[in-house]
Amino acid sequence: MQRIGIFGGSFNPIHLGHLAVARKVIEQGLVDEVWLMVSPQNPLKQAATDLIPEQDRLALARQAVEDCPKILASDFEMQLPLPSYTWRTMEALRERYPNYAFSLIIGADNWVNFSRWAHHEALLAEYPLLVYPREGYPIASETLPPTVHVIDAPLFPFSSTSIRNLLADGKDVEKMIPACIIDAAQRLYAAPL
């Protein structure tokens, strides 16, 4: 049975940290592939005024992973009813792909708030959770349920928010996002005149 890691997010924009986490999960043998699940809107976040259209975020993500074996950007969640609850996405994936075993990849910041997620108990019971470190969100491994595994992944000193701010100011993001999407990201996130 093929093991798929579902890594959901706004990817507004996708950056090198996202790709590094996906690679680490594969390298550590925790999954065979990672599907970046580009979300239309996180129900726990207020509607973001700086969220570019989902098709643009998907296009950037797909371009960013063109040369990344075993990592793909998916529009699966965009085909589901809003709001984008992870449990609904995971159940729909399991129904569509019954021969795949799915895991959920989340950041430590999301693990801290996991009890606020819709049907979080069902997610914990049904799917392994692979948690990657985030600055300011320490996790004590010994306190985790047996289905939750902290992965060994690097910390990155930037976020999609900081990258959007730099792009809006016309600043350099060369060390933060894949080179193949820099031009497109500069156009999409440039501050309006």
Percentage of the chain modeled with pLDDT above 90: 83
Query: How much is the pLDDT for 45?
Result: 59
Confidence of residue 41 (pLDDT cuts 50, 70, 90): confident
Task: Kindly state the tokens that stand for 60.
Answer: 């950037």
Task: Give dist(CA 164, CA 190) in Å, integer.
Answer: 8
Q: Which residues pair with 131 in a beta bridge?
A: 106, 150
Is the pLDDT at 26 greater than 80? The verdict is yes
Angle at 180 between CA 29 and CA 156, to 5 degrees: 55
Q: Which residues pair with 176 in a beta bridge?
A: none
What is the homologous superfamily of the domain 2-155 according to CATH?
Answer: HUPs (3.40.50.620)
Give SS3 for 128: coil
pTM value is: 0.94
Is the pLDDT at 59 greater than 70? The verdict is yes
How much is the average pLDDT of 44-48? 55
Compute the CA torsion angle 130, 61, 89, 39 (nearest 10 deg): 110
Confidence of residue 193 (pLDDT cuts 50, 70, 90): low
Confidence of residue 120 (pLDDT cuts 50, 70, 90): very high
